[in-house]
């Protein structure tokens, strides 16, 4: 009600109807608009598709704000900008886009400097904002003449993404905005922010007395499911699509470029209309594929994470993770592209611990990030991994808790696999086995025997005898001690010991070139404590009725 009493309200509503041709505001849009018109800093947290753009596009065309003039929008991706610019022009809004480092932008820059009729919005890349002296001079000029209405930082979570993504995005430079342009309000918008990420945004941008507009990140129309990755995942995906969503639109994310090509090829062989997409393709191909997907000529995109930011297709019916995502944040961002139209959409993640290790190996090998960043990234992968192997708790609750939001699992109503499962939850006391299993790795380590995860399961259960003898694993004290456990239970025991960091694995490059890396198991950081206390080890698992 107090928002409606704002002196800005009449103008804001007039623009909503007559310029944007919309009937009503969505949650938090009006509050965001009024805050920035009042000259306050604001952070807008809204799920993908929530309508973030309007929060800065509308005030940009208002004349009554505390600060007026040009709204500068910093956005990381040219494609993303181009879409918005096109839409704004179709609404007859005067907008300029400055996204190239060469002189192509020369005319626009000249215009921005000289004409009295300034555009309402100027979209810039962070590089342009901070690496072009020309641009800086123009902005300084506008600032001196009080013609800068506000700075908008879209996809503000990039400020927090540690490591290379951060540097590549150019967002590091944004921390000077406050100092360079005092008195100009800042609006930061994002669809993903943990409280930690939020703090990083506030600090980096030196926001003061800001208005925080956040809302539930729950996406009730998304269905979450994690499936253990087995052989021929492509077949399983193809069957799913053909059965549930024939001819419908979807995205399949893979960790590696080469994988996107392989998967797309296999899906095509299964008769599906799939294309691959990654950053290694040339600009023209990427544009073409994105276009084909956008207009429905091709309905399934198999892509690396290079695909998606700025993708605005409302009827995405499924987002499938062929490999484990890099973090829960990334997972939410990526699955968030499904079901923007509000209709039911499926998010399926194929999980294998091997993929987790591949991610860790990648992080370890990355020469562009430092030790601290590596450890943060590894931790993020472990968090996703723990989410995946959890077969008890509501996934919606786990995801929302990650963003410090509470959620009552009773409201999930079976919209995640764990809540939907009718299998009974049983508790199994594996204390004795766990201890013996861990002792096995201790002995192996003492005797300088390297042992892989798969072989360790055989050794513990005493199976695959010939190979065990050949590798002398049969001489280990704990050999065969787990013979009465099923393969499945031994695997779960193993996964849980890993999750609790009693064991840890290290993926090493294969001794032979062009072979898949090999994963060896060692005692983890929590092993000493575990062996000293030998705590009870009870697994909660689901057993089919
Ligand atoms: P985000 O950037 O949060 O992912 P967008 O700003 O791209 O979302 O908006 C998503 C969609 O919702 C767009 O198609 C936009 O036109 C539409 N939209 C935004 N605000 C409103 C509104 N108040 N009423 C109707 N549609 C809206």
Distance 350 CA to ligand 1 centre (A): 31
Of residues 512, 361, 527, 365, the one with CA closest to residue 444: 527
Write down the mean pLDDT value for the chain: 91
Atom index in ligand 1 nearest the CA of residue 55 equals 6
337 Cβ inside 6 Å of ligand 1: no
- Return the pLDDT at 417: 97
Rounded to a whole number, what is the distance in angstroms from the first to the last CA of the chain?
A: 54
User: What average pLDDT does this structure show over 95-108?
Assistant: 79
Q: pLDDT band at residue 7, thresholds of 50, 70 and 90?
A: very high
User: What average pLDDT does this structure show over 48-75?
Assistant: 94
Residue nearest to atom 25 of ligand 1 (CA): 22
54 Cβ inside 6 Å of ligand 1: yes
E strands in 191-341: 211-214, 222-228, 249-253, 274-277, 300-303, 316-321
Distance 43 CA to ligand 1 centre (A): 17
Distance 48 CA to ligand 1 centre (A): 9
19 Cβ inside 6 Å of ligand 1: no
E strands in 465-515: 503-508
- Return the pLDDT at 513: 78
Please tell me whether the overall predicted TM-score, pTM, comes out greater than 0.90 for this model: no
- Return the pLDDT at 243: 97
Q: Write the pLDDT tens digit of every residue in 147-200.
A: 999 999 999 988 865 544 555 567 877 888 999 999 999 999 998 777 778 888
Provide the pairing of β-strand 249-253 with 300-303: parallel
51 Cβ inside 6 Å of ligand 1: yes
Q: Write the pLDDT tens digit of every residue in 511-520.
A: 777 787 788 9
Q: Provide the token pair at 277.
A: 């997409």
Q: pLDDT band at residue 2, thresholds of 50, 70 and 90?
A: confident
49 Cβ inside 6 Å of ligand 1: yes
Would the pLDDT of 45 be above 70? Answer: yes
- Return the pLDDT at 78: 83
Distance 87 CA to ligand 1 centre (A): 12
Of residues 164, 111, 114, 149, the one with CA closest to residue 33: 149
- Return the pLDDT at 149: 97
Distance 22 CA to ligand 1 centre (A): 10
Q: Write the pLDDT tens digit of every residue in 293-315.
A: 988 899 999 999 988 766 778 89
Q: With the CA atoms of 55, 57, 61 and 62 taken in that order, what torsion angle do they form, in degrees rounded to the nearest 10?
A: 10
Query: Which has the minimum average pLDDT: 28-37, 194-203, 473-482, 508-517?
Result: 508-517
Q: Provide the token pair at 125.
A: 């890349």
Would the pLDDT of 369 be above 80? Answer: yes
233 Cβ inside 6 Å of ligand 1: no
Residue nearest to atom 18 of ligand 1 (CA): 51
For ligand 1, mutation pick of 53, 189, 215 (most atoms within 8 Å of CB)? 53
Q: Concatenated DSSP letters for 89-154?
A: HHTT--EEEE--SSGGGHHHHHHHHH-SS--SEEEE-HHHHHH-HHHHHHHHHHHHTT-EEEEEET
Residue nearest to atom 16 of ligand 1 (CA): 51
Atom index in ligand 1 nearest the CA of residue 191 equals 3
| Secondary structure letter of residue 416 according to DSSP | B
- CA gap 132, 123 in Å, rounded: 14
Q: What ipTM describes this predicted complex?
A: 0.98
Residue nearest to atom 19 of ligand 1 (CA): 51
Residue nearest to atom 2 of ligand 1 (CA): 52
- Return the pLDDT at 163: 46
Query: Which has the minimum average pLDDT: 75-84, 101-110, 514-523, 526-535?
Result: 101-110
57 Cβ inside 6 Å of ligand 1: no
Atom index in ligand 1 nearest the CA of residue 154 equals 2
- Return the pLDDT at 103: 61
Distance 6 CA to ligand 1 centre (A): 23
46 Cβ inside 6 Å of ligand 1: yes
Residue nearest to atom 17 of ligand 1 (CA): 51
For ligand 1, mutation pick of 15, 17, 54 (most atoms within 8 Å of CB)? 54
Atom index in ligand 1 nearest the CA of residue 24 equals 23
Residue nearest to atom 27 of ligand 1 (CA): 51
48 Cβ inside 6 Å of ligand 1: yes
Would the pLDDT of 509 be above 70? Answer: yes
Q: Concatenated DSSP letters for 300-330?
A: EEEE-TTS-TT---TTEEEEEESS--S-HHH
- Choice between 137 and 312, residue whose per-residue pLDDT is larger: 137
Are 220 and 415 in contact, with CB atoms under 8 Å apart? Answer: yes
Residue nearest to atom 21 of ligand 1 (CA): 51
Distance 302 CA to ligand 1 centre (A): 26
- Choice between 290 and 34, residue whose per-residue pLDDT is larger: 34
Distance 277 CA to ligand 1 centre (A): 26
User: What average pLDDT does this structure show over 449-473?
Assistant: 94
Atom index in ligand 1 nearest the CA of residue 312 equals 7
Q: Write the pLDDT tens digit of every residue in 184-243.
A: 999 999 987 777 788 889 999 999 899 999 888 899 999 999 999 998 999 999 999 999
């Amino acid at each position: 009600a107090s928002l409606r009493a704002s002196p800005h309200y009449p103008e804001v509503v007039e623009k909503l109807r007559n310029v944007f041709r919309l009937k009503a505001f969505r949650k938090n849009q009006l509050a965001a608009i009024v805050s920035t018109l009042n000259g306050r800093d604001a952070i807008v947290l809204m799920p993908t598709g929530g309508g973030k753009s309007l929060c800065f596009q509308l005030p940009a065309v208002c004349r009554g704000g505390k600060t007026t003039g040009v709204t500068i929008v910093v956005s990381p991706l040219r494609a993303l900008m181009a879409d918005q610019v096109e839409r704004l022009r179709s609404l007859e809004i005067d907008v300029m886009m400055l996204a190239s480092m060469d002189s192509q932008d020369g005319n626009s820059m000249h215009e921005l400097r000289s004409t009295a009729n300034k555009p309402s919005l100027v979209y810039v890349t962070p590089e342009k904002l901070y690496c072009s002296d020309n641009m800086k001079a123009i902005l300084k000029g506008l600032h001196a003449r009080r013609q800068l209405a506000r700075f908008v930082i879209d996809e503000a979570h990039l400020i927090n993404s540690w490591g290379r993504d951060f540097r590549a995005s150019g967002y590091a430079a944004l921390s000077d905005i406050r100092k360079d342009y005092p008195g100009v309000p800042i609006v930061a918008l994002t669809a993903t922010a943990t409280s930690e990420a939020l703090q990083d945004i506030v600090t980096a941008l030196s926001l003061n007395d800001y208005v925080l507009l956040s809302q539930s990140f729950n996406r009730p129309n998304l269905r979450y499911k994690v499936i253990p990755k087995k052989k021929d995942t492509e077949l399983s995906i193809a069957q799913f699509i053909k059965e549930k969503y024939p001819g419908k639109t979807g995205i399949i994310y893979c960790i590696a470029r080469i994988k996107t090509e392989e998967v797309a090829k296999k899906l095509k062989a299964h008769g599906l209309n799939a294309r691959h997409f990654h950053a290694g393709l040339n600009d023209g191909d990427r544009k073409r594929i994105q276009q084909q997907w956008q207009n429905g000529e091709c309905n399934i995109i198999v892509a690396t994470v290079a695909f998606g930011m700025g993708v605005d297709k409302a009827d995405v019916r499924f987002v499938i993770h062929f490999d484990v995502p890099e973090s829960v944040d990334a997972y939410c961002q990526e699955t968030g592209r499904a079901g923007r139209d509000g209709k039911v959409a499926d998010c399926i993640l194929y999980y294998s611990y091997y993929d987790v290790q591949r991610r860790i190996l990648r992080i370890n090998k990355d020469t562009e990030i430092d030790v601290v960043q590596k450890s943060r990234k590894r931790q993020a992968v472990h968090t996703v991994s723990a989410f995946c192997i959890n077969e008890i708790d509501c996934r919606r609750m786990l995801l929302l808790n990650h963003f410090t939001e509470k959620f009552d699992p009773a409201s999930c109503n079976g919209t995640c696999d764990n809540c939907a499962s009718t299998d009974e939850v049983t508790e199994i006391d594996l204390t004795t086995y766990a201890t013996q299993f861990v002792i096995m790795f201790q002995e192996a380590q003492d005797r300088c025997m390297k042992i892989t995860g798969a072989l360790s399961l055989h050794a513990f259960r005493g199976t695959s005898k010939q190979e065990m003898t050949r590798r002398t694993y049969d001489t280990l004290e704990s050999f065969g001690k787990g013979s009465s456990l099923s393969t499945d239970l031994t695997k779960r025991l193993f996964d849980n010991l890993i999750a609790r960091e009693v064991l840890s694995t290290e993926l090493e490059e294969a001794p032979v070139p062009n072979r898949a890396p090999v994963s060896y198991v060692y005692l983890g950081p929590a092993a000493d404590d575990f062996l000293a206390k030998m705590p009870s080890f009870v697994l909660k698992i689901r057993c089919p009725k």
